[in-house]
Structure 1
Amino acid sequence: MNNDSSSRIAARLREWIAGASPGSRLPSTRSLVAEYQASPVTVQKALQSLTTLGLIESRPGVGTFVRAVRTARPADYGWQTAALGSPQAPPRSASSTMRSTTNDVIPFHSGYPDRDLLPERLVRAALARASRSDAALSRPPAPGLPELQSWFARELGASTPVGVTPPTPSDVIVLPGSQSGLSSIFRALVGHGQPLLMESPSYWGAIHAAAQAGVRLIPVPSGPDGPDPEELARAFETSGARVFYAQPNYANPTGAQWPARRGEQVLDVVRRNGAFLVEDDWAHDFGISTTPVPIAAHDESGHVIYLRSLTKSVSPAIRVAAVIARGPARERILADRAAESMYVSGLLQSAALDVVTQPGWQTHLRSLRHQLQSRRDLLVAGLREFAPQAHLERIPNGGLNLWARLPDGTDLEQLTRDCESAGVIIAAGTEWFPAEPEGPFIRLNYAGPNPGAFPEGARIIGRALLRQAR
């Protein structure tokens, strides 16, 4: 007998259970085998499915019985309102970029690259080796595995110019993803109620982490070439802030990359104000037509707190990142991390280190550069042909996203609904602004699956925009 037979038996028994009283005893397995002309295994599968549904219960040595139906009473959590008090920050829903979708849609909303863009073979082999190593059973040091600390330090040190002291492994703290690092940095270096300068628009996760840390966000307008140094200096002076968060290379969401001169100017402003620059180098491995040079490579006085993540480029399942900081700032961040999670899984650290030190890693990155370029150009061409209303101020030199300005008056909520009903998921730009949005924008990920559908996705966006213009 097959699974269809077990389903048929389960359906018949459900009819019988519906007319039986709670506590009624079901016929024995032997009786059911004879009645339905089925094997004992098939009957057991049917009974197991009913047990899973909570319709029957087995009492070893006694028999199988109809379970009593318990009427669910509404839970009263009202007492928690008084116990918790008012939240320090208004609750924020999860970003639309984290939304899971079915395979029959065109997902332009995601913040992650498609599986085809990951080094799958390297990751699987690394996890297998890590599972057989001591890392599977031992507790790593709080700052991270020394070998992984050294790798992160060497990566940043490779961009350090002559005359500047490169970071050391002891400057590195390994993190379970850069998001947790942002939370620790904002708590440790800014503090509740204190001002934090942030590029606008900026990464939604940084905005969320700042809100949860209770810091006071002060937006600093930032364009394709980064923030105006004079505007940044005024923001430091008027706010009294001592920390500025930014993404100088392939910013999320805009894709902006600061020119080298702009990076020098921003670092000068930060130094003059005795402040910190939190440099989020999230897309370091996603260069297309340029190679990113971190601003942290030019700093040896501890003004730059540098974040580098491997989560997107290695695998979302391997949440490993690092913060590189010097002086007392490092000790404060490490203390916060110890209170938050004590240490990062040695198994994941070992696997991440294995991947990035294999010869195939560099081969993968070279291939990734070309794949990202072809996907980016395909989506850009589709938008220019089918959705010219979605204005691209600049084509990004790297990263994963396009940032499109829409016509004034565009109803973003209606647009996202119209696109979704036609099979395209987009991310409205509102969640990337620390304060009020400066206009209607959408962020489109060109690293998602099925690039062959990009032109059709652009066509659907264009049609939805035309309907609003009528």
Structure 2
Amino acid sequence: MNNGISAEDLAKLLRDEVKRFSPGERLPSSRALVERFRSSPVTVSRALAVLAAEGLVVTRPGAGTYRARGPAVPAVPVRPADTSWQQIALSAEGAGDAAPRTVDASGVLATLTAPPPGVIALNGGYLHPTLQPEQALGAALARAARRPGAWDRPPMAGLTPLRAWFARETGGTVGTANVLITAGGQAALTTALHALAAPGAPVLLESPSYPGALAVARAAGLRPVPVPVDADGVRPDLLAEAFAATGARVFFCQPLFQNPTGTVLGAERRRQVVGIARAAGAFVVEDDFARRLAHGGPLPPPLVAEDQDGTVVHVTSLTKPTSPSLRVGALIARGPVLERLRAIQVVDSFFVPRPLQEAALELVGAPAWPRHLRAVAAGLRERSAALLAALGRELPCAEPEYAPSGGYHLWLRLPFGTDETALTAAALSQGVAVAPGRPYFVAEAPAPHLRLSFADTANVDEVGEGVRRLAAAGASIGLG
């Protein structure tokens, strides 16, 4: 039986208890801890692992857990380190730098940071554990570990069967040779922007756009330039103007269930966008992060599947529909650019660990994989409908401009004059975490927004409760 205690909370309780034991003395068995705290064996194991990592205990397989004999923490240094010099070293730019490099992860951390206990996460970027294929992942890892050579060095471009799977999933004329395995979508995006644009160069992005792309561009010393979107995706007329005005050679976009708006690039615009980029001698970096998060119904093919001239560099990943820790994705490209992408990845990280690649291959080849995708589609569809209904009932002034048929979030336009920061803080105090809209814009935002995610919620009841708490937060600052 599990009383809901987390591994972190159990570790805190045990941390004080360990002090009552002598160095080298044996602690109660894991079974005794399970019975005493009415917790699960997995929770107890994780709590003990935390204490072992802190140097408080030593675990001996088959013998038990003992209080460590040495000090748990290093001695405090006599003089605090002076690292103030780094402020100059990290900020000083050379005379030839066209754009300062700034590393701002705040927009990404808004969706990665776990909320405090009891807070409903309407800001998450990954599936709730109840939607993750934990059993299938565990089975895939176990089978992968038994494969011959599972711990050998993989081919630099990735395991050939896994590359072939990504090629088949993409369709069109994409072949195995066009695929490079990456450590997830974010790593693929980082590699792509480093490969395609030199420091100081402009890079075009949809506006609003994914904060992770903005962070990568700025960290690489690129100059992000916004191109507005409407209900049908990026506007081709403004995209052409942006290419002409800036001389940019890269356009980053998310044609399917765009983050944060949820829009899908229309059929005619798909052809226009690729044609405009080709005419400008530029690349389109297509982030297809949400293809396996559709709620049902037919989907347009990826832009890269219909591109014969090497204009599109495609980014895809298995992370979003599975687990944040299955960081396996792919870059797909045609022509000499693929060799540059491969070279940059080798320099940055060598290769993706083979056990992860083997596990991913086992997962997508198992009968459980299509069943999991159907379960994810149903779960997201239910949560999306619950979120829309709750907003209409509890907070009608913040209804979304667009209700997507895929993905895991809604983009809310707030009444003019609404203070996003105040609303976000008030929401957290009411027990619900939401993402403010400002980090999604390159330049000044045209209006205040919120992004609400429903992926990291346990069920539709939690979605409804989250909106009720958000409405209470809005009322506390005069929103209504």
**From 142, 150, 154, the counterpart of 1:140:** 154
How big is the shift at 1:90?
Answer: 2.5
Cα pair distance change 1:386/1:9, threshold 3 Å:
closer
| Mapped pair 1:242 → 2:236 | no
Within 5 A, what are the aligned runs for 1:44-55? Answer: 52=56
* 1:149 correspondence with 2:194: no
Given candidates 225, 229, 236, the residue that maps to 1:229 is 236
The alpha-carbon deviation at position 9 of structure 1 amounts to 9.9
Contact preservation (8 Å) 1:416, 1:426: yes
CA distance in 1, matches of 2:382, 2:451: 18
| Cα pair distance change 1:147/1:419, threshold 3 Å | same
The answer (yes or no) to whether the contact 2:426–2:474 under 8 Å persists in 1 is no
Q: Please state how far the C-alpha of 1:134 moved relative to its aligned partner.
A: 3.0
- Equivalence for 2:121: 107
1:26 paired residue number = none
Residues 149 and 169 of structure 1 are in contact (CA less than 8 Å); yes or no, is this contact kept in structure 2? Answer: yes
CA–CA distance in 1 between the matches of 2:289 and 2:120? 24
Inter-CA distance 128–431: structure 2 relative to 1 (3 Å threshold): same
Deviation at 1:312, TM superposition (A): 1.3
Q: What value does the CA root-mean-square deviation take over the aligned residues? A: 2.9
Kindly indicate whether residue 471 of structure 2 is the aligned counterpart of residue 462 of structure 1. yes
Residue 201 of structure 2 aligns to which amino acid in structure 1?
A: Q
For 2:135, the equivalent position in structure 1 comes to: 121
User: Does 1:386 pair with 2:398?
Assistant: no
Structure 2 residue matching 1:442: 3-state secondary structure: strand
In structure 2, distance between residues paired with 1:83 and 1:259: 46
Does residue 419 in structure 1 map to residue 427 in structure 2? yes
The Cα offsets for residues 368-424 of structure 1, whole Å up to 9 and x where unpaired, read as 211111110001100100011112111111001011011111111111111111111
Q: Find the counterpart in structure 1 of residue 218 from structure 2.
A: 211
**TM-score, scaled relative to structure 2:** 0.82
Aligned mate of 1:439, from 422, 433, 447: 447
The alpha-carbon deviation at position 84 of structure 1 amounts to: 4.4
Contact 2:398–2:412, Cα closer than 8 Å, also in 1 = yes
Contact residue 276 and residue 304 of structure 1 kept, 8 A: yes
Structure 2 residue ranges without an equivalent (≥5): 1-12, 29-50, 58-66, 94-99
Q: Given residue 356 of structure 2, which amino acid in structure 1 is its aligned partner? A: L
SS, match of residue 134 in structure 1: coil
Give aligned-pair identity as a percent: 38
Could you give the per-residue CA deviations for residues 203-242 of structure 1, whole angstroms, max 9, x where no partner exists?
A: 1111111111111111000122111111111111111011
Letter in 1 for 2:167: A
Name the CA shift for 1:372/1:89 in 2 (closer, same or farther; >3 Å).
same
| Aligned CA distance change for structure 1 residues 5 and 409 (closer, same or farther; 3 Å) | closer
Shift of 1:284: 0.9
C-alpha change, 1:285 and 1:9, in structure 2 (3 Å) is: closer
1:342 aligned partner: 350
Q: Tell me which amino acid in the other structure corresponds to 1:465.
A: G
2:368 matches 1:354: no
Q: CA deviation at 1:7?
A: 6.8
**TM-score, scaled to structure 1:** 0.84
Cα shift at 1:265: 1.6
1:429 and 2:437 aligned = yes
* 285, 298, 320: which one aligns with 1:312: 320
Instruction: For 1:5 and 1:362, locate their aligned partners in 2 and report how far apart those are by CA, in whole Å.
Output: 42
SS at match of 1:186: helix
Residue of structure 2 in register with 1:22 after alignment: none
Q: Is the contact between residue 430 and residue 472 of structure 2 (CA under 8 Å) also seen in structure 1?
A: no
Q: Quote the offset at 1:102 in angstroms.
A: 3.6
Instruction: Check conservation: 1:153, 1:169, Cα contact below 8 A.
Output: yes
Counterpart of 1:371 in 2: which secondary structure?
helix
Equivalent residue, structure 1, for 2:265 = 258
Aligned residues: 424
Which residue is 1:74 aligned to?
Answer: 80
Once the two structures are superposed, residues 162-216 of structure 1 have per-residue CA deviations (whole angstroms, 9 ceiling, x without a partner) of xxxx011111010001111111111111111011110011111111111111111
Q: Give 1:330's aligned amino acid.
A: L
Amino acid at match of 1:91: V
Task: Name the CA distance, whole Å, in 2 between partners of 1:412 and 1:191.
Answer: 34
Contact 2:427 2:473 in 1 (8 A): yes
Distance in 2 between the 1:9 and 1:270 partners?
A: 63
- Greater CA radius of gyration, 1 or 2? 1
Letter in 2 for 1:459: R
- Conserved in 2, the CA contact under 8 Å of 1:135 and 1:350? no
Instruction: Rate the CA distance shift 1:168–1:461 in 2: closer, same or farther, 3 A.
Output: same
Distance 1:360 1:465, change over 3 A: same
Are the equivalent residues in 2 in contact too, given 1:248–1:279 (CA < 8 A)?
yes
Secondary structure at 2:272's aligned position in 1?
A: helix
Matches within 5 A, 1:27-46: 41=26
Q: Kindly indicate whether the alpha-carbon contact (under 8 Å) linking 2:457 and 2:463 is maintained by their aligned counterparts in 1.
A: no
- Asked if the contact 1:314–1:352 (Cα under 8 Å) also holds between the matched residues in 2, the reply is no
Counterpart secondary structure, 1:392: coil
Is the partner of 1:381 in helix, strand or coil? helix
* Cα distance in 1 between the residues matched to 2:405 and 2:397: 22
- Cα distance in 1 for residues equivalent to 2:14 and 2:457: 39
- Bigger CA drift: 290-299 or 182-191? 290-299
The 1:82–1:40 alpha-carbon spacing in structure 2 relative to 1, beyond 3 Å, is closer
Determine the structure 2 residue equivalent to 1:371.
Answer: 379
Name the amino acid aligned to 1:362.
P
* Equivalent in 284, 301, 315 of residue 309 of structure 2: 301
Q: Secondary structure at the match of 1:279?
A: strand
Q: Structure 1 pair 106/84, CA: closer, same or farther in 2 (3 Å)?
A: closer
Where 1:469 maps in the other structure, the secondary structure is: coil
Deviation at 1:91, TM superposition (A): 3.1
